[in-house]
Amino acid sequence: MQLISWNIDSINAAVEHKSARGEMTWDVLNQIAARQPDIFAIQETKLKAVGLTKKQAQTITDLFPDYHIYTNSSTARSGYSGTMMLSRQEPLSVDYPIINAPGDMDLEGRIITLEFENYYVSTVYTPNSGSGLARLEERGAWDDAYRAYIQALDAQKPVIFSGDMNVAHEEIDLKNPKTNHNSAGFTDQEREKFSALLRAGFTDTMRSQYPEQTGLYTWWAQISKTSKINNSGWRIDYYLVSERLAPKVKTTAVIDTGLRQDHAPITLEITINK
């Protein structure tokens, strides 16, 4: 089974592709469609609260015919955050969970979970701690609530989950760890919360496959014109699986997006009974 996960940073920018960046995003989306993944998870859709527009829905359906499409849009702030999942196989159930996160986080469309006979597949867009770490305390509460949610799923069936988790776990996971030690996404608290998630019974598939590989990143800052050219990036997008699924993982990879900065899609191939 092939799965792909991507923080697209606006479905509409891809569908309209009227700018140079939009064209690059559109090209990547077409590359993913050509791969025909079994499940495609998307974060930061930035859809309106009501979901896909008619044009957006038609474009996605044309690219991914015969897929089942599920969206979870922010109702707290339209056009913000949001997630989407596309699945070739119809799931037994679909959940847009409330995890008792602080503030408006439960209203920001951050999680979708698909249930299949032998496993769950879930995607998440983890809140950013924000400028000046203004949201760090709330982010920590989110991490605790999310970990409890994933553990509850895992108690029923093994889980495959992916997304932009907004944390580089170890120093190897970003180009400049020393100068970013207190930056959002690389604070001691955020890193420890991710460690706690792993200790709860889950495997970071990419680091498991490439335990010592440096320069393995999934995000490059748009604010820096040379971040992608110099590979000055961060690894903040993940595929995690229940530990009992880890031996079934075949490959993981980052899809090459050329000069496009921001997030790159990640892939997971796993042998599992559907």
pLDDT of 274 above 90: no
Question: Could you confirm whether 17 is annotated as catalytic?
Answer: no
**Residue 144 belongs to domain with CATH number:** 3.60.10.10
Provide the number of structural domains found in the chain.
1
- The terminus-to-terminus CA distance of the chain in angstroms comes to 9
Catalytic residue among 9, 149, 217, 263: 263
Q: DSSP label at 247? A: G
Catalytic residue among 70, 125, 146, 239: 125
108-143 per-position pLDDT tens digit: 999 999 999 999 999 999 999 999 999 999 999 999
Strands (E), the chain: 2-7, 39-43, 68-72, 83-87, 93-95, 111-115, 120-125, 159-164, 202-204, 219-220, 237-242, 249-254, 262-263, 266-270
Over its C-alpha atoms, the chain yields an Rg (Å, rounded) of 17
What pLDDT, in 10s, does the model give residues 207-218?
A: 999 999 999 999
Segment 155-175, tens digit of pLDDT = 999 999 999 999 999 999 999
Q: By residue range, what is the domain housing residue 159?
A: 2-270
Asked about 263 being catalytic, the answer comes back as yes
Report the DSSP pairing between strands 159-164 and 237-242.
antiparallel
Amino acid (1-letter code) at residue 187: T
Q: Is 262 part of any known ligand binding site?
A: yes
- Averaged pLDDT of the chain: 97
Q: Is 263 annotated as a binding residue?
A: yes
Q: What angle, 0 to 180 degrees and rounded to 10, lies between the N-to-C axes of helices 20-35 and 54-63?
A: 40
Q: Helix, strand, or coil here: 205? A: helix
Tokens of 237: 């997008």
pLDDT in tens, 185-201: 999 999 999 999 999 99
74/55 Cα distance (integer angstroms): 19
Sign of the C-alpha dihedral computed for residues 80, 43, 180 and 225 taken in this order = negative
Query: Cβ(265)–Cβ(5) under 8 Å?
Result: yes
Instruction: Answer yes or no: is 173 a known binding residue.
Output: no
Q: From the candidates 9, 164, 204, 237, which is the catalytic residue?
A: 164
Would you list the DSSP string of 136-195?
HHHHHHHHHHHHHHHHHHHTTS-EEEEEE-----SGGGBS-TTTTTTSTT-SHHHHHHHH
